[in-house]
């Protein structure tokens, strides 16, 4: 019996493989980390081979710990870190260089030049995105310009470009499929989200040959079948795919326009599904594709905080304030407030709604009485305040207030952070039983792709609530919000 879906959640620091049954319960989960590469300040790279090996290792281990055989897998769903860019040789199947990670700022100058030349309006009107080094287009151009002979090879059609979903499908199918879905394509700064196709204008502007781009298919579709994958039989359909944040929106079953979720991982990402209507943000948010299932092509508003869980990692690895990330909750809870300390975690610039790639982290309000507990609490508050800025921008764009925010990701397990978030948002925060909603979304899409479900509504009963956090008095956080705005101006 093929009773399981394999969800591959390929993230910034590791790859998670999950086995999910027909009732959409997680039956097994294994995460395998891989090395981060920092060639110079502001640059972040990944070895694509290391990403692939981490996926193989995670798959092998989850099969081992669950006792499930590869032959029992009915389909594979993929979700991924989105803007990270890989280019490889179609014949040798070898990457031309390390992948450039979404966090990497090496193309900031190129983005500034495009903005100075007056192209931001055209880019935003087509893509829903501002011009920023965050997105894939300038990363691809950088690789073609800085790897010897790469641009000439690209013009001859010898190279293939992809975000990580495309790379994984290519590896899983032994090079038979070069595909992506609209949610990932919409993060490249090369895809026209109204025309629903790659844009010749944008390819010319960013100097990325269209010949290297993958085919765009719906988010629930059979893209290809496994071939020569260690540990898996040939012929398993790869049938669902979405960028990690859109996949989490799907996994949270945010199926009604206006419903929203926030994922707390390395960064924090707040998405609100807006249905078939493309809403243009007037407040620094992105308009992006949520997913395409059948003929339903849905949009979302998105705000991105570049540093969330990574700020906690910095306290652990950079400052040695905590031994492990989970220690921060107890340390922060040991004081009633941050003692006037405000931490703006702009360690790699500020994302939405500010979009200041030159901003840097700021800690204000330090006194002789400041302790590591105050800094720990200020870190949690800084994460929550960054997300509150995003939701305030969304509410202004939509002209109405959000009542409920669904949350997921590793840091959503932190009850103190979630309560701070509810207080700052003045909205109820709801955490599901299964916080692996990113992988769950990929599994749901794969379930549609192989025919387990007809529509997303068929999977709606899989969502179960774990805990909800009601907001406290707004007056209690008013001073913190004011201090935050002052600190942000210094970042």
Q: Which residue intervals of 209-302 are DSSP H helices?
A: 244-251
* HSE-up of residue 381 (Cα within 13 Å, Cβ side): 30
Q: Which residues contact 122 (CB under 8 A, 6 or more apart)?
A: 201, 205
| 3-state helix, strand and coil shares in percent for the chain, rounded to the nearest 5 | 35, 25, 40
Cβ neighbourhood burial of 219 (10 Å; 0-12, 13-18, 19+): buried
Return the beta strands (E) in 294-425 as ranges: 296-305, 342-344, 362-364, 404-408
At residue 326, the 3 state secondary structure works out as coil
Give backbone dihedrals phi and psi of 252, rounded to 5 degrees, phi first.
-80, 0
Predicted local confidence at residue 304, as pLDDT:
86
CATH 3.30.420.40 holds for 4-244: yes
In this structure, what DSSP letter does residue 414 have? -
Phi-psi region of 102 (alpha: psi -120 to 50; beta: other; left: phi over 0): alpha
Please report how the helices 164-172 and 48-66 are oriented relative to each other, as an axis angle in degrees rounded to 10: 60
Domain limits, the chain? 4-244
CA dihedral 242, 243, 244, 246 (to 10 degrees): -70
At residue 78, the 3 state secondary structure works out as strand
Say how many C-beta atoms besides its own lie within 10 A of residue 284's C-beta. 18
Predicted local confidence at residue 452, as pLDDT:
92
At residue 360, the 3 state secondary structure works out as coil
Distance of CA 167 to the CA centre of its chain: 16
Q: Model confidence over 202-258: pLDDT tens digits?
A: 999 999 999 999 999 999 999 999 999 999 999 999 999 999 999 999 999 999 888
Residues with pLDDT less than 70, the chain: 1-2
For residue 245, whether the previous peptide bond is cis, meaning omega lies within 30 degrees of 0, is no
Query: CA 214, CA 212: separation in Å to the nearest integer?
Result: 7
Q: Model confidence over 35-49: pLDDT tens digits?
A: 999 999 889 999 999
Encoding tokens for residue 126?
Answer: 């087509």
Query: CA 424, CA 469: separation in Å to the nearest integer?
Result: 12
Predicted local confidence at residue 1, as pLDDT:
56
Query: CA 207, CA 228: separation in Å to the nearest integer?
Result: 35
pTM across the whole model = 0.88
Query: CA 8, CA 438: separation in Å to the nearest integer?
Result: 10
Please report how the helices 108-116 and 136-146 are oriented relative to each other, as an axis angle in degrees rounded to 10: 110
In this structure, what DSSP letter does residue 79 have? E
For residue 353, whether the previous peptide bond is cis, meaning omega lies within 30 degrees of 0, is yes
Predicted local confidence at residue 42, as pLDDT:
87
Is the Cβ–Cβ distance between 178 and 166 less than 8 Å?
Answer: yes
Query: CA 251, CA 261: separation in Å to the nearest integer?
Result: 10
Please report how the helices 120-127 and 108-116 are oriented relative to each other, as an axis angle in degrees rounded to 10: 110
Q: Which residue intervals of 136-190 are DSSP H helices?
A: 136-146, 150-155, 164-172, 182-185
Tell me which residue of 146, 140, 126 sits closest to 202, measured CA to CA. Answer: 126
Give backbone dihedrals phi and psi of 34, rounded to 5 degrees, phi first.
-140, 160
* Whole-number Cα distances in Å, 418 to 408, 414, 426: 10, 6, 12
Encoding tokens for residue 284?
Answer: 């620094």
Is the Cβ–Cβ distance between 420 and 381 less than 8 Å?
Answer: yes
Query: CA 60, CA 75: separation in Å to the nearest integer?
Result: 16
Tell me which residue of 230, 244, 177 sits closest to 53, measured CA to CA. Answer: 230
Q: Which residue is listed with tokens 């939509």?
A: 398
Please report how the helices 437-449 and 244-251 are oriented relative to each other, as an axis angle in degrees rounded to 10: 80
In this structure, what DSSP letter does residue 350 have? B
């Amino acid at each position: 019996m093929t009773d399981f879906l394999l969800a591959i959640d390929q993230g910034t620091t590791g790859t998670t493989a999950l086995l999910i049954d027909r009732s959409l319960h997680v039956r097994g989960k294994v995460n395998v980390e891989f090395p981060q590469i920092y060639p110079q300040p502001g640059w972040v790279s990944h070895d694509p081979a290391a990403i692939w090996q981490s996926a193989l290792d995670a798959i092998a281990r989850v099969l081992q710990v669950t006792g499930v055989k590869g032959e029992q897998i009915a389909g594979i769903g993929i979700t991924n870190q989105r803007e990270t860019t890989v280019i490889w040789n179609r014949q040798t199947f070898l990457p031309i260089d390390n992948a450039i990670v979404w966090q990497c700022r090496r193309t900031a100058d190129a983005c500034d030049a495009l903005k100075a030349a007056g192209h931001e309006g055209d880019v935003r009107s087509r893509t829903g995105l501002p011009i920023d080094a965050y997105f894939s287009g300038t990363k691809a151009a950088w690789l073609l310009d800085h790897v010897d002979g790469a641009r000439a090879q690209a013009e001859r059609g010898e190279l293939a470009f992809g975000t990580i979903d495309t790379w994984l499908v290519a590896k899983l199918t032994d090079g038979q499929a070069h595909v992506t879905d609209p949610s990932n394509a919409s993060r490249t700064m090369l895809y026209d989200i109204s025309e629903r196709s790659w844009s010749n204008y944008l390819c010319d502007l960013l100097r990325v040959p269209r010949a290297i781009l993958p085919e765009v298919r719906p988010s629930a579709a059979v893209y290809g079948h496994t071939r020569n994958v260690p540990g898996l039989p040939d012929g398993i359909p790869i049938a669902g795919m979405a960028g990690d944040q859109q996949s989490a929106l799907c996994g949270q079953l945010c199926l009604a326009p206006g419903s929203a979720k926030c994922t707390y991982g390395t960064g924090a990402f707040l998405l609100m599904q807006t249905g078939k209507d493309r809403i243009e943000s007037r407040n620094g948010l992105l308009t992006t594709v949520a997913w395409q299932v059948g003929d339903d092509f849905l949009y979302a508003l998105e705000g991105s905080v570049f540093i969330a869980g990574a700020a906690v990692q910095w306290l652990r690895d950079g400052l040695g304030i905590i031994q492990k990330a989970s220690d921060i909750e107890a340390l922060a809870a040991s004081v009633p407030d941050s003692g006037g300390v405000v931490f703006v975690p702009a360690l790699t610039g500020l994302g939405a709604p500010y979009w200041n790639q030159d901003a840097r982290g700021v800690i204000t309000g330090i006194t002789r009485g400041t302790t590591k507990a105050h800094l720990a609490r200020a870190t949690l508050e800084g994460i929550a305040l960054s997300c509150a800025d995003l939701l305030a921008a969304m509410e202004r764009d939509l002209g109405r207030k959000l009542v409920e925010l669904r949350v997921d990701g590793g840091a959503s397990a932190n009850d103190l952070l979630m309560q701070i978030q509810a207080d700052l948002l003045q909205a109820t925060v709801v955490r599901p039983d299964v916080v692996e909603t990113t992988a769950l979304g990929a599994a749901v899409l794969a379930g549609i792709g192989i025919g387990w479900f007809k529509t997303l509504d068929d999977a709606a009963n899989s969502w179960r609530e774990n805990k909800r956090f009601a907001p406290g008095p707004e007056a209690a956080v008013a001073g913190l919000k004011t201090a935050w705005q002052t600190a942000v101006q210094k970042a």
